[in-house]
Structure formats: structure tokens, C-alpha cells
Amino acid sequence: MMPLWARLWLLAQSRADLIGHAQFAEGELYDLMKRRVNRTSGEVSECSRGAVSHAVKQCVEYGLLARESRAQCLVLPSSLVQKEGRGSRRCITHQITGA
Ligand SMILES: [Zn+2]
């Protein structure tokens, strides 16, 4: 089974905007992350909110997310941010209004 932190990082990458912020509504990150399926047995289980918070901290420790990451907004390090393309340059959580 893929570690929770790895799933979280993939989700952050898929959701990140032009400034590398992956924004989530209240409780949305946990709702997206809580279910885990064991591909071998097919067993479905749920993790705790604390486990999701720990996964965010792990990604920060591994340098995969910036320190200002939180449940409402996961922030990719600037080295991983795509500067061009479609998407927002605004973040309500981090009070960035765009350029
Ligand atoms: Zn943000």
C-alpha cells in the first residue's frame, strides 16, 4: 500500500495552481485522504485526521512541501512550481492575491 505521505504529495501536485498552492475546502483534504484500499485484499479502511496531519508534516520534513503547508492549502516548494500554464495565482489561506 502506498504510504499516506506519498498519496498526499501526489494529490498536492495534481491540485497545485500556478504558484504551487493546492487549496482545499474545510475538511476536504481529510475526506479525500481518509479511505485506503489494500489492493491485495481489497480491504477498505479509514485513517484518522491525525494521520493526515502527520503525512503533511512528513512531506515537509522530506522537503516535498513547504513549511507553510496546512490542511487548507498544501504548498509545493518553489523548485517544483510550474511558472506557466493555466490556473490561479491566488490563495485565500496564505492571503496571496495574485500578480
Ligand atoms: Zn496557499
Q: Render pLDDT for 25-67 as a digit per residue (tens, 0 to 9).
A: 999 999 999 998 888 888 888 999 999 999 999 999 999 999 9
pLDDT at 87 over 70: yes
Model confidence at 68, in pLDDT bands (50, 70, 90)? very high
pLDDT of residue 55: 97
- Ligand 1 centroid to Cα of residue 80, in Å, is 15
CA–centroid distance, 96 to ligand 1, in Å, is 7
Distance 71 CA to ligand 1 centre (A): 10
**Average pLDDT over every residue of 59-78:** 95
Q: Where are the domains of the chain?
A: 4-80
Distance (Å) from CA 42 to ligand 1 centroid: 35
Distance from C-alpha of 64 to C-alpha of 13, rounded to nearest angstrom: 10
CA atoms within 13 Å, Cβ hemisphere of 94 = 20
CA angle, 80 as apex, 76 and 81 as ends, to 5°? 75
**Residue range 4-80, CATH number:** 1.10.10
CA angle, 60 as apex, 56 and 64 as ends, to 5°? 100
Q: pLDDT band at residue 85, thresholds of 50, 70 and 90? A: low
Sign of CA dihedral 83, 80, 11, 8: negative
18 alpha carbon to ligand 1 midpoint, in Å? 11
Query: Distance from the CA of 47 to the center of ligand 1, in angstroms?
Result: 24
* The pLDDT value given to residue 2: 87
